[in-house]
Amino acid sequence: MLRVVEARTLSASSMSKIMQFVKHDFNLTPEQLQKYVPFTIEGYAVGMCSSEFVKVLVGNHPSVFTSDIKTKSLRFVPSVEAASFEDKTKALGEVNVALRDQGLIKGWRDELLPVSATFNSDPYMKIERAACSYFGVKAYGVHVNGFVRDPVTKRVTHLWVATRSPTKPTWPGMLDHIVAGGIPFGINLMENVIKECKEEANIDEGLASFAVPVGAVSYASLDEVGNLRRDCLFCYDLELPETFTPTPADGEVEKFELMEIGDVLDKVVEGCGSGGKEGYKPNCNLVLLDFFIRHGIISPESSQYLELLTGLRSGDCS
Amino acid sequence: MLRVVEARTLSASSMSKIMQFVKHDFNLTPEQLQKYVPFTIEGYAVGMCSSEFVKVLVGNHPSVFTSDIKTKSLRFVPSVEAASFEDKTKALGEVNVALRDQGLIKGWRDELLPVSATFNSDPYMKIERAACSYFGVKAYGVHVNGFVRDPVTKRVTHLWVATRSPTKPTWPGMLDHIVAGGIPFGINLMENVIKECKEEANIDEGLASFAVPVGAVSYASLDEVGNLRRDCLFCYDLELPETFTPTPADGEVEKFELMEIGDVLDKVVEGCGSGGKEGYKPNCNLVLLDFFIRHGIISPESSQYLELLTGLRSGDCS
């Protein structure tokens, strides 16, 4: 039974939990960011590394990396910087394999992502996904909100919620979007949405192609080893018919549930209050807050509403 | 006859026109902003004035205003700062009337707006709308996107476009939203949307109450006399039935037209290219760009898409 959902004016204490989480966990201060060394190619900062990591690269791999004292940046040596896309990818890949074999780069994925100054600029090379955060290279992803709308009021009433498999290495058992994934090299955003819809939730291409691009969130956060995670997540809305039920397809999701949107909002507020330890996988909260704003689930009369809007795009959104 | 609208990947030249307009006309640089003097109350900067205006206030109205040399700010003298809401409103009002009578404040509206540190914080006093930009006080408004959706694909196909009356003192004859207006003191956002819907387009309360709050845009721009306009516009989406036609109600609108969404996008790109001189009233372009992003009219594969997202909320969004 569907019921109408009106914009909710959140209490000051709920908004304070949300803003604390968004600001502290996903918006590093200029002082925190200053500790990281830019990794530049052709003058563009494509990454930001810890100074310890720069020491390892320059000390142990001087035929590939050098540090520029004047600009305080990490760079390729001139011969590598001048090399082709393929040769830069190869030089970087060999260093990363060595670092993996020493146990320094963990969680190898065997998945290559492009490295570029901005999302739409030509990539300089490819990088192993697990190495991204060590180099502080921006990573891009797609997150899909699968929702149901009331046919009369046109308001969003329910959202499909995934529970991650308890055996997943990252955030086991936490809540997740119906479909989400990183963007591998050589595939465009919509192709990726369609591919992930099939792989993760058995949503066929016909239905998945109704997904609408609706914006993005961006952030900088610290991972468990102190590396920078600089992510931009492209958000998609997929309106699903009431008769459709997604099913786990690749073993990464334990189950899917259709949850009332007000209950999802409660989960997000509680999750933010727990510092991202409960409820949704931490970065999903940002995509959901953007969804709540765009669909009038959170009222603009809520305190710090405007500040939240900018807080959701405070990473290097480019 | 409705047709399906898919996300359009804008050409680099179109996106460059848009970004040029958004960045140059609506996002002042830190250097440009530094020329303005903060107007502080209880330590909060509630406004930003030109140094010439500060000289007039402090020189001609020393019983009300003073300048703090240490913090380089404009302030009320202690007795006015300590006064009640009503007394601060009265003291400020008397100064503004004097400035109006000298011909210094132009375009008097006889409409009072609240002055506060942020939208949701308690206001310190009220200010005449025409004086807002002289003091650089943030002004808030509501802009309503009245649109029609394809019942099958659920995509937005058309937008209602207003043409401003040729006799309006500001932006005569330019295109506008179906409904838009400033937020007077003592009325909440949704009440204001409903009031403006009735006054401007003969949309009755029953239909207007379907308007959905969907976010906001913010900006800082310069007006024709060099004052700062610091605005936050709360955006609302109002899905209208195909059978509904708005009608001009208060003489400020010449006509309403239902335009294909792709044609609206063309108008916005052209308008941005003209520096806001053609097409839509300049600030409407920002609200429409936000609409195009949220409804998948502009594809995220367009260059500078992510930069546009943050560009739309780069004013003091609070």
pLDDT digits (tens, 9 = 90+) for A89-143: 999 999 999 999 999 999 999 999 999 999 999 999 999 999 999 999 999 999 9
Determine contact: B16 vs chain A, CB below 8 A: no
Orientation angle between helical segments B12-26 and B284-294, nearest 10 degrees: 130
Q: Which chain B residues have a beta carbon less than 8 Å from that of A213?
A: 7, 296, 299-300
Q: How far apart are the first and last CA of chain A?
A: 42
Whole-model pTM? 0.95
Contact B65, B74 (CB under 8 A): yes
- Label residue A182 exposed, middle or buried (CB < 10 Å: 0-12, 13-18, 19+): middle
DSSP H helical ranges for B11-77: 12-26, 30-34, 51-60
Q: Which residue has the higher pLDDT, A284 or A316?
A: A284
**B301 to A188: CB separation less than 8 angstroms, yes or no:** yes
Write out pLDDT tens, residues A21-55. Answer: 999 899 888 889 999 999 999 999 999 999 999 99
Q: B296 vs chain A: nearest CA distance in angstroms?
A: 5
Instruction: Kindly identify which residue of chain A lies nearest to residue B305, measuring between CA atoms.
Output: A318
Q: Across the interface, do A294 and B295 touch by the CB < 8 Å criterion?
A: no
Query: Does any CB of chain B come closer than 8 Å to the CB of residue A102?
Result: no
Cβ density class A114-147: b for 16+ within 10 Å, e for less = bbbbbbbeebbbbbbbbbbbbbbbbbbbbbbbbb
Q: CB neighbours of B247 closer than 8 A, spacing ≥ 6? A: B201, B202, B256
User: Rounded to an integer, what distance in angstroms lies between the CA atom of residue B13 and that of residue A298?
Assistant: 36
Which member of B190, B212, B317 has the closest CB to residue A310?
B317
Alpha carbons within 13 A on the beta-carbon side of B194: 11
Residue in A237, A231, A221, A232 with CA at minimum distance from that of residue A179? A237
Q: What pLDDT shows up at residue B161?
A: 98
Whole-number pLDDT of residue A3: 57
Q: A237 contacts in B (CB within 8 Å)?
A: 296
CA distance A96 to A160: 38
Could you give the CA distance from residue A121 to residue B134 in angstroms, rounded to a whole number? 41
**B216 contacts chain A (CB < 8 A):** yes
Residue B157: Cβ-neighbour burial (10 angstroms; 0-12, 13-18, 19+)? buried
Concatenating the DSSP letter of every residue in B82-119 gives TS-HHHHHHHHHHHHHHHHHTT-S-S----EEEE-SST
Could you say which of B213, B293, B295 has the minimum Cβ distance to residue A300? B213
Tokens standing for A47?
């990454």
pLDDT in tens, B165-180: 999 988 999 999 999 9
| A32/A29 Cα distance (integer angstroms) | 5
Tally of CB atoms within 10 A around A4 = 10
Backbone angles phi, psi at B305, to 5 degrees: -60, -50
Per-residue model confidence (pLDDT) at position B224: 85
| C-alpha to C-alpha distance for A154 and A264, rounded to whole angstroms | 18
- Indicate the residue of B120, B239, B293 with minimum beta-carbon distance to A304: B120
Q: Which of B306, B308, B309, B312 to mutate to test the interface with A (most CBs of A within 10 A)?
A: B306
A257-273: average pLDDT: 97
Residue A101, sorted as left (phi over 0), alpha (psi -120 to 50) or beta, turns out to be alpha
Considering only CA atoms, which of A290, A151, A281, A307 is closest in space to residue A216? Answer: A290
**DSSP structural state of residue B131:** G
Chain A nearest-CA residue for B290: A215
- Dihedral sign from CA coordinates of B128, B131, B133, B135: negative
Q: How far apart are CA B127 and CA B144, in angstroms?
A: 25
Residue A215 zone, left/alpha/beta (φ > 0; ψ -120 to 50; rest): left
Helix (H, G, I), strand (E, B) or coil at A234: strand
- Angle (deg, nearest 10), helices A261-273 and A284-294: 140
Phi, psi of B124, deg, nearest 5: -85, -30
* B300–A contact, CB cutoff 8 A: yes
As given in the structure block, the two tokens for residue B7 are 């996300």
pLDDT in tens, chain B (318 residues): 445 678 999 999 999 999 999 998 998 888 899 999 999 999 999 999 999 999 999 999 999 999 988 888 999 999 999 999 999 999 999 999 999 999 999 999 999 999 999 999 999 999 999 999 999 999 999 999 999 999 888 999 999 999 999 999 889 999 999 999 999 888 999 999 999 999 999 999 999 999 999 999 999 999 888 999 999 999 999 999 999 999 998 888 999 999 999 999 999 999 999 999 999 999 999 999 999 999 999 999 999 999 999 999 988 889
Say what the pLDDT of residue A230 is: 93
